[in-house]
Chains A and B, each alone.
Chain A
Amino acid sequence: MPQSADKVLDHAPLFQQPEYKEMLAQKKVKFECGHPDELVQEIGDWTKSWEYREKNLAREALTVNPAKACQPLGAVFASQGYEATMPFVHGSQGCVAYYRSHLSRHFKEPSSCVSSSMTEDAAVFGGLVNLVDGLANTKALYDPKMIAVSTTCMAEVIGDDLNSFILQAKEKGSVEATFDVPYAHTPAFVGSHVDGYDNMQKGILSHFWNKAERVESDSINIIPGFDGFAVGNNREIKRMLDEMGVTFTFLSDVSDVYDTPSDGEFRMYAGGTKLEDARAALNARATISLQEWCTPKTMEYIAEKGQQTAALHYPMGIQATDEFLMKVSELTGKPIPDSLKLERGRLVDALADSQAHLHGKTYAIYGDPDFVYAMARFVMEMGGEPVHCLATNGGKKWAKQMEALLASSPFGKQGQVWAGKDLWHMRSLLNTEPVDMLIGNSYGKYLERDTGTPLIRLMFPIFDRHHHHRFPTMGYQGALNVLVKLLDTVFDKLDDDTIVPGETDYSYDLTR
């Protein structure tokens, strides 16, 4: 009997004990009726071949292991970044349980969001009653300052009209007529979470701005986009703007929402963009989106309102941060201070110190479109070579941008862009054209296991490692964090490959 009270074995060591191994071997032989081992081996090898890759890439209907989620997730995330705002998703309730779980598993924090809990009768008669009752209940129980409504695919398929429903709910007194209830239709069968983010941002800003007069101020707005590292990144961006002495408003800032203290009190709402600031943000001179692909409609709307706009691709790495700062400087007239130049110099110093270990390293990168762009660019700045750049939610325009980026550097020569492909495609790519490192999210661990490519987790969601999102990846400081993650992966691999005494005593170096 392997178990003891002294040294309790849980799943990992327990099932490696001989009793369990024998039991599972017997189960397989006697009860499972599986395929013969040789056949499994043969097919397993075949899945790694070029022939398989071609069949795999020719898929037209099936999606396997996609790297994207659906619109309402992005809408919920965007809503949570506003002061005391309760996201309200109109449609089936299971969806909301999923968004909350997904966000909590990544941030290791509470995630608040309600549903209108529509069921079969609502499918037939529409969800008006659910919305009317739901808004009243949400307001009474959770005392929000704003309720931001988005939709699940169920409500979209049956065609519920949020604008009309919310007006009717207000008429019926669910919430006061003046209470802020912005909304966005966020069908799950169009686009992905980045589009839901965009639609909700546009919904919230139009709610505040549509009937207002714009009087231009010196301030600028920052829209961060859907970002799993928002806790670290938003704070880092704000710090840099403070260093520059810029007046700014973050439009949707979850950095405090997803980083509340443990001190005995549960705060359902914390921080976020103040509603009065969101209202006043109309007057800003300009708005910068940190992620173009998270904000196309929002930025179009903002430009229509008369502001200057600029959309970046996730300011991570040297040139991307340079561009961010120069853009801020251009729009505000404030110079970039020496303190930031010093940070830049220190980052370059770190890159120079470590360049030998990163030069010529090859990478596969996947994630949201702007992240993949930034990551590929930063990799090239370090002398690395992006080989596979994949975004399941990237389209043709994104692919063109990526191709132009790769063409801009000799390190991008072998780079291939995979728009709309999934992680099962990536498996074929890694098997046929292997790389040194894989950059993505926790789902990449199955690729790491299947192909032996070390995984670096820099993309939402990260479920199986803790607290990385609390540290920035944007700006010069963030780039330093990213650099260290890449280097640690390189060094760990070197050590792992030479760790057997009496066999690989060489290369297990003390100093590198």
Chain B
Amino acid sequence: MAKDHAGGPEDYEAMIEEVLEAYPVKARKKRAKHLSVSGATEEAPDATTGIASKCDTTKSNIKSIPGVMTIRGCAYAGSKGVVWGPVKDMVHISHGPVGCGQYSWSQRRNYYIGKTGVDSFVTMQFTTDFQEKDIVFGGDKKLAKTIDEINELFPLSNGVTIQSECPIGLIGDDIEAVAREKKKETGKTMVPVRCEGFRGVSQSLGHHIANDAVRDWVFEQPESEAVKAYEPGPYDVNVIGDYNIGGDAWASRILLEEMGLNVVGNWSGDATLAEIERAPKAKLNLIHCYRSMNYICRYMEEKYGIGWMEYNFFGPTQIAASLRAIAKNFDETIQENAEKVIAKYQPLVDEVIAKFRPRLEGKSVMLYVGGLRPRHVVTAYDDLGMVIAGTGYEFGHADDYKRTGHYVKEGTLIYDDVTSYELEKFIEKMRPDLVGSGIKEKYPVQKMGIPFRQMHSWDYSGPYHGYDGFAIFARDMDLAINNPVWGLYGAPWEKPAIAAE
């Protein structure tokens, strides 16, 4: 496919060179391997998007260089913030000093229903609040006592996860021993997670460690009552890697149920421990955020023989393709139902596109997000006539970049673990119509007069998944781009402002 936006690969390559000039030599050499322009490939075009490009940066998933304002987080953020934090009926202890739990408290918008503080605990901050003496003498006793106090004050909590902060691994605490002892005493699930922030190079290792903790401390334990009581059915599926941000998992579940499928477990937005435990009884794992939960899917495949497939519920083109692909794993009834669901929502899709596409047609977008979104949302923009000028991952691996080639066209700027310096320079030079990234990037970009949407938290909106979510997505892109504020940046008595270009 030919590029269809301003600025060709040559321009972008020259721009990359120019931006890199600011770095000291050692850093420049390293950063050059993370920036590229998507090129041609021999591979066949993707069946849904009709696209094939080569998006690989030379390097990804390696250490960030120091002193450059990387946008990445840490392993703790990947485990507590992403994978475990949304499990609603367990208490997640931020084990260590107070800050990590404080800054991540209630920030992921993992919606859930429950009596917070009584049978649900997602929007609470539990911490061992380490003091100097805990560092010096070790924190295991404090941890044990913390778990005792949780059981006393929150008797309906169905278990505890221990989310390690940096000091835990450095002072030689044995949180696994504490977990085993407390499990024995209380009979409740105890999950120690070695997600200290210095491990690995980003959130990504935290996801992996958190997945491994599901394996070791939930699956590899004696069957719970919830599992024993469950009778599997032929249409049982798990949704894996949907954190119900702004209600995404609900807007997805409604479609799967309309198709006639049973969503046994939703990992991990609005999930209970039982939903985690029962997952191995399902027929198929449907994985949305591949990056954060592919590990446990592979394990379930190997151990329990459950197949897994990636799907994409952003935008009508991908939703319809995904519904059909999911249905293919089941009988004709389900396949017919999938067609009915697609047909049912088609009028909504047509209306949304008729209303918003003319307002968004041809607008260019730059993305910089984590997980699956740098590629998964691309087709939704395409459904609205918008064009991706650049995209990149905070913590993607080579397999993510490979998959990106099914979504973005040749000539797209690709940036891995972009520094705020590079991102700002790229945005300044490319001046896209919209940038989708995180809270740290939002305000600098808006100061430049460029519309912005937070694409981690949906900027306090959402859901964006499913057909209901697509309408919200379209509305939000419209309200971001077409708000009158961008025309007010320049004082009228001065030269025309940038925003009026």
A and B pair up: yes
Binding site for B on A (CB under 8 A): 1-6, 8-11, 14-15, 19-20, 23-24, 27-28, 30-35, 39-40, 43-44, 47, 52, 55-56, 59-66, 68-70, 72-73, 88, 91-102, 104-105, 108-120, 122-123, 130-131, 133-138, 140-142, 152-154, 157-158, 187-190, 192, 260-268, 424, 427, 443, 446, 450
Any A CB within 8 A of the CB of B418: no
Which chain B residue lies CB-closest to A258?
Answer: B443
Residue of A39, A88, A266 touching B156 (CB-CB under 8 A): A39
Any A CB within 8 A of the CB of B98: yes
Which chain B residue lies CB-closest to A127?
Answer: B66
Q: Contact: B166 with A267, CB < 8 Å?
A: no
Residue of B63, B197, B447 touching A267 (CB-CB under 8 A): B447
Query: Known contacts being A24-B113, A93-B74, A95-B99, is A104 close to B67, with CB within 8 Å?
Result: no
Q: Mark B265-299, 1 if CB is under 8 A from A, else 0.
A: 10000101111001000000000000000000000
Contact residues, B81-102 vs A (CB, 8 A): 89, 96-100, 102
For chain B, which range describes its interface: under 10, 10 to 19, 20 to 34, or 35 or more residues? 35 or more
Interface centre among B197, B344, B354 (most CB of A within 10 A): B197
Residue of A9, A96, A119, A187 touching B63 (CB-CB under 8 A): A119
Q: Contact: B131 with A190, CB < 8 Å?
A: yes
Q: Contact: A137 with B23, CB < 8 Å?
A: yes
Residue of A34, A56, A94, A265 touching B448 (CB-CB under 8 A): A265
Interface centre among B24, B270, B273, B491 (most CB of A within 10 A): B24
Q: Contact: B146 with A154, CB < 8 Å?
A: no
Contacts of B493 in A (CB 8 A): none
> CA of A92 to CA of B356 in the docked complex: distance in angstroms?
43
- Smallest CB separation, A175 vs chain B (Å): 11
Any A CB within 8 A of the CB of B246: yes
Q: Contact: A450 with B472, CB < 8 Å?
A: no
Q: Contact: B129 with A141, CB < 8 Å?
A: no
Q: Contact: B489 with A263, CB < 8 Å?
A: yes
Q: Contact: B102 with A187, CB < 8 Å?
A: no
Q: Contact: A32 with B99, CB < 8 Å?
A: no
Query: Can you list 13 contacts pairing A with B, beta carbon distance less than 8 Å?
Result: A11-B111, A33-B273, A52-B153, A55-B152, A69-B99, A110-B443, A137-B23, A142-B69, A154-B167, A154-B198, A262-B449, A264-B490, A427-B117
Contacts of A35 in B (CB 8 A): 119, 156
> CA of A104 to CA of B352 in the docked complex: distance in angstroms?
33
Q: Contact: B462 with A11, CB < 8 Å?
A: yes
Query: Known contacts being A4-B348, A189-B130, is A11 close to B461, with CB within 8 Å?
Result: yes
Query: Known contacts being A55-B153, A115-B66, A133-B26, is A65 close to B125, with CB within 8 Å?
Result: yes
Contacts of B257 in A (CB 8 A): 23
> CA of A152 to CA of B69 in the docked complex: distance in angstroms?
15
> CA of A346 to CA of B167 in the docked complex: distance in angstroms?
53
- Smallest CB separation, A373 vs chain B (Å): 22
Any A CB within 8 A of the CB of B105: yes
Q: Contact: A104 with B439, CB < 8 Å?
A: yes
Q: Contact: A262 with B275, CB < 8 Å?
A: no
Q: Contact: A189 with B135, CB < 8 Å?
A: yes
Residue of A5, A101, A104, A153 touching B354 (CB-CB under 8 A): A5
Q: Contact: A92 with B166, CB < 8 Å?
A: yes
Query: Known contacts being A33-B226, A62-B150, A137-B27, is A189 close to B197, with CB within 8 Å?
Result: no
Any A CB within 8 A of the CB of B309: no
Contacts of B247 in A (CB 8 A): 11, 14-15
- Smallest CB separation, A91 vs chain B (Å): 8
Which chain B residue lies CB-closest to A123?
Answer: B198
Q: Contact: B126 with A110, CB < 8 Å?
A: no
Q: Contact: A43 with B198, CB < 8 Å?
A: no
| Sample of 17 further A-B pairs with CB below 8 A, known A5-B352, A187-B132, A265-B448 | A2-B468, A5-B351, A5-B471, A27-B253, A30-B262, A34-B272, A40-B115, A56-B153, A66-B102, A69-B103, A102-B102, A113-B69, A117-B66, A117-B67, A262-B489, A263-B497, A264-B489
> CA of A120 to CA of B196 in the docked complex: distance in angstroms?
10
Q: Contact: A99 with B67, CB < 8 Å?
A: no
Which chain A residue lies CB-closest to B229?
Answer: A33
Q: Mark B56-70, 1 if CB is under 8 A from A, else 0.
A: 000000011111111
Q: Contact: B166 with A153, CB < 8 Å?
A: yes
Which chain B residue lies CB-closest to A133?
Answer: B66
Q: Contact: A119 with B200, CB < 8 Å?
A: yes
- Smallest CB separation, B120 vs chain A (Å): 9
Q: Contact: A3 with B64, CB < 8 Å?
A: no
Query: Known contacts being A92-B74, A97-B77, is A66 close to B167, with CB within 8 Å?
Result: no
A-B CB proximity, top 7 nearest:
A94-B74, A134-B67, A70-B99, A134-B66, A98-B103, A33-B274, A5-B351
Q: Contact: A61 with B128, CB < 8 Å?
A: yes
- Smallest CB separation, A17 vs chain B (Å): 9
Contacts of B152 in A (CB 8 A): 55
> CA of A442 to CA of B475 in the docked complex: distance in angstroms?
28
Q: Contact: A62 with B128, CB < 8 Å?
A: yes
Any A CB within 8 A of the CB of B446: yes
Contact residues, B184-207 vs A (CB, 8 A): 197-201, 203
Residue of A62, A120, A135, A187 touching B198 (CB-CB under 8 A): A120
Any A CB within 8 A of the CB of B410: no
Q: How many A-B residue pairs have CB under 8 A?
A: 359
- Smallest CB separation, A231 vs chain B (Å): 14
- Smallest CB separation, B99 vs chain A (Å): 3
Q: Contact: B197 with A3, CB < 8 Å?
A: no
Query: Known contacts being A4-B351, A130-B66, is A24 close to B250, with CB within 8 Å?
Result: yes
Any A CB within 8 A of the CB of B1: no
- Smallest CB separation, A428 vs chain B (Å): 10
Q: Contact: A260 with B447, CB < 8 Å?
A: yes
Any A CB within 8 A of the CB of B300: no
- Smallest CB separation, A73 vs chain B (Å): 7
- Smallest CB separation, A110 vs chain B (Å): 4
Q: Mark B406-433, 1 if CB is under 8 A from A, else 0.
A: 0000000000000111001000000000
Residue of A5, A43, A153 touching B96 (CB-CB under 8 A): A153
> CA of A443 to CA of B75 in the docked complex: distance in angstroms?
25
Q: Contact: B64 with A117, CB < 8 Å?
A: yes
> CA of A266 to CA of B76 in the docked complex: distance in angstroms?
31
Contacts of A109 in B (CB 8 A): 443
- Smallest CB separation, B190 vs chain A (Å): 15
Q: Contact: B166 with A152, CB < 8 Å?
A: yes
Any A CB within 8 A of the CB of B159: no
Query: Known contacts being A10-B461, A40-B156, is A266 close to B166, with CB within 8 Å?
Result: no
Any A CB within 8 A of the CB of B303: no
Contacts of B73 in A (CB 8 A): 93-94, 97-98
> CA of A378 to CA of B420 in the docked complex: distance in angstroms?
43
Q: Contact: A61 with B149, CB < 8 Å?
A: yes
Q: Contact: B132 with A190, CB < 8 Å?
A: yes
Any A CB within 8 A of the CB of B8: no
Q: Contact: A157 with B421, CB < 8 Å?
A: no
Contacts of A158 in B (CB 8 A): 170
Residue of B273, B447, B462, B485 touching A265 (CB-CB under 8 A): B447
> CA of A137 to CA of B443 in the docked complex: distance in angstroms?
23
Q: Contact: B124 with A98, CB < 8 Å?
A: no
- Smallest CB separation, A396 vs chain B (Å): 15
Contact residues, B216-267 vs A (CB, 8 A): 226, 229, 246-247, 250-251, 253-254, 257, 262-265
Any A CB within 8 A of the CB of B15: no
Q: Mark B3-33, 1 if CB is under 8 A from A, else 0.
A: 0000000000000000000111011000000
Q: Contact: A133 with B129, CB < 8 Å?
A: no
Any A CB within 8 A of the CB of B41: no
Q: Contact: B72 with A100, CB < 8 Å?
A: no
Contacts of A5 in B (CB 8 A): 348, 351-352, 354-356, 471, 474
Contacts of B70 in A (CB 8 A): 93, 97, 115, 117
- Smallest CB separation, A111 vs chain B (Å): 7
Q: Contact: B153 with A101, CB < 8 Å?
A: no
- Smallest CB separation, A445 vs chain B (Å): 9
Contact residues, B461-496 vs A (CB, 8 A): 461-463, 467-468, 471-472, 474-475, 485, 489-491
Query: Known contacts being A68-B98, A94-B197, A110-B444, is A105 close to B439, with CB within 8 Å?
Result: yes
